[in-house]
Amino acid sequence: MKHIRNFSIIAHIDHGKSTLSDRLIQATDIVSDRDFKDQILDSMDIERERGITIKSQTVCLPYRAKTGQHYSLNLIDTPGHVDFSYEVSRALASCEGALLLIDASQGVEAQTLANMYLAMEHDLEIIPIINKIDLPSADVERVKAQIEEDLGLDPDTAILASAKEGIGIEEVLEGAVNLLPPPEGDPDAPLKALIFDSHYDPFRGTIVHFRVIDGKIRAGDTIRFMFNNATYRVEEVGIFRIVRVPRKELTAGEVGYMIAGIKTVSDTRCGDTVTLHSHPCDAPMSGFKETKPVVFSSIYPVASDAYEELAVAMEKLKLNDAALIYEKDSSVALGFGFRCGFLGLLHLEVVQERLEREYDLSLILTAPSVQYEITLNDGTTEIIDNPALYPDPTLIQNTREPYIRAAIIVPDRYMGAVMKLCLERRGINKNYQYLTNNRLEMIFEIPLAEVVYDFYDRLKSVTQGYGSFDYDIIDYRDTDLVKLDILINGDRVDALSQLVHRERSVMRGRRACEKLKEEIPRQMFKIAIQGAIGGKIISRATVSPFRKDVTAKCYGGDISRKRKLLEKQKKGKKRMKMVGQVEIPQSAFLSVLKSEGD
């Protein structure tokens, strides 16, 4: 065990985690140059296209240190986005150390701090690494000062590296061997292993990723999941070397995978403890704290007969994405679907895209909303995240919405722009402090509903990409909430309803009507698109009809002939409107979610 090191790479977005993983993999020669490709651990197409890591990935690197000793390094590459911080916390639970990457030109940013605190919660040894030292704008001394002031780490232990150029990779590997502690555990105790991830393979069933804490596991053992007491016989265990490499056994301190013919996807839970059926351990491990979704949206299949396929796809995706929470839902306009909870809008987009690509589904999403606490006149409290369940306003005593504490780190020249953006979003400025002579940390308390839409994109725009943002939910506060309905030809479309603050309702209603006017195709009759709060219409847009020129055959003569033909046409259109159905294209549902800037 003293020759095993388990560590993960953590950092803010775009500070070079995946590139450093690539160089470590190349340095240990587990992939031939012919098979190597950049961002080799980012296995999903969507990760490569967007240039972001979504899933944390594990790889076992064999390394011969300068002392001549052979080591086994289990490396976990983690995401940087705040929406995927749950992936990071799960990866850290199976490690003893962390490499904290800091960009030599950008310095310490919001997620750098947040990820360092996550690592500290797990009592991990942290090695700071200053990456991208080859950039013309790199300022190593300034970053070292930030490491000491902002992070409270020793800047002299920081390793200087450039993952892109391959500088300092040997020092990183030596640092992992010499500075990080080996795992603790008893190979002779009863088996105790922690599941930190899993994915579904159509040929082998569920493949479980786990870390052995105590004991040994080998093919042929009968294991038991302690969460639901399901038992299985192990077919294969092994380690990750980009591809799966089978082993005879895995012992305490090692990280690997297990295949046991698990067909029922729901048996596998992240954070569950695996033990031997015949010789179980005393008690399960504490596992991971449950995620709290902050954004809610309903997902429906475009074709109503694809509901069963969607149900199967959701179950398989949940296995690989533990932060996704869902339950059954139905809508008058769209039929059966699922009400889902996400950690943010990027998480929502990624789930939608993965369902469409990996499971070949066509989907419609409703407008995202957050959870509101509603106290009724009889004193009962309801938690509502779906506009369809919003009670009659006459029965409501008061409404409360979630607030977040947002920590925004920006260069001080953008202070005014950030202040304006946050105050527009009903934010309250709590305080600000200088981290260095030109970098500010600004603390705001903002309603979560105002952040959900496009706050992060706008923050990046007004700070020219230099602003970084991290948040946590603090409490619920009183708000003036209304339900905005969208009527098309006088019919309410429940999938387009939104819960909004009264001040923003007229603006949101106008914008929704304008967007729908662009998306809904013209018919032979006039289509009225209206925004309404209760019985009061607050906005309207009209889709003009196609119109045949019925007066073309009249030349000159009395105007009354033309008028008669036009009146006849008007009556026909009125009758058509009474029986005509308006088809709403899928793009119309999505257009309502987009902001003005898009």
Count the helix, strand and coil residues of the chain and give each as a percent rounded to the nearest 5. 30, 35, 35
Binding-site sequence positions: 14-19, 131-134
CA-to-CA distance for 415 and 437, rounded, in angstroms? 14
CA-to-CA distance for 483 and 497, rounded, in angstroms? 7
The closest alpha carbon to 414, from 451, 453, 465, 448, belongs to: 465
CA-to-CA distance for 348 and 323, rounded, in angstroms? 11
The closest alpha carbon to 45, from 320, 353, 347, 310, belongs to: 353
Q: Which residues contact 285 (CB under 8 A, 6 or more apart)?
A: 192, 194, 213, 271, 273
Q: How deeply is 77 buried, as exposed, middle or buried, from its count of CB atoms within 10 A (0-12, 13-18, 19+)? A: buried
Q: Which residues contact 150 (CB under 8 A, 6 or more apart)?
A: 108, 113, 435
Binding-site sequence positions for GTP: 14-19, 131-134
Q: Please count the other Cβ atoms lying within 10 Å of the Cβ belonging to residue 451.
A: 26
Note whether 225 and 268 are within 8 A (CB).
Answer: yes
Q: What CA dihedral angle connects 149, 150, 152 and 155, to 10 degrees?
A: -70
Per DSSP, the chain holds a count of helices (H) and strands (E) of 14, 31
CA-to-CA distance for 58 and 94, rounded, in angstroms? 11
Q: Which residues contact 425 (CB under 8 A, 6 or more apart)?
A: 446, 447, 450, 451, 455
CA-to-CA distance for 140 and 155, rounded, in angstroms? 10
* Phi and psi torsions of 534, nearest 5°: 65, -125
* Phi and psi torsions of 195, nearest 5°: -80, 120
Pairing of strands 97-103, 125-131: parallel
Q: By three-state DSSP, how is residue 150 classified?
A: helix
Q: Please count the other Cβ atoms lying within 10 Å of the Cβ belonging to residue 229.
A: 9
Helix (H) or strand (E) holding 341: strand 335-342
The closest alpha carbon to 85, from 127, 57, 114, belongs to: 114
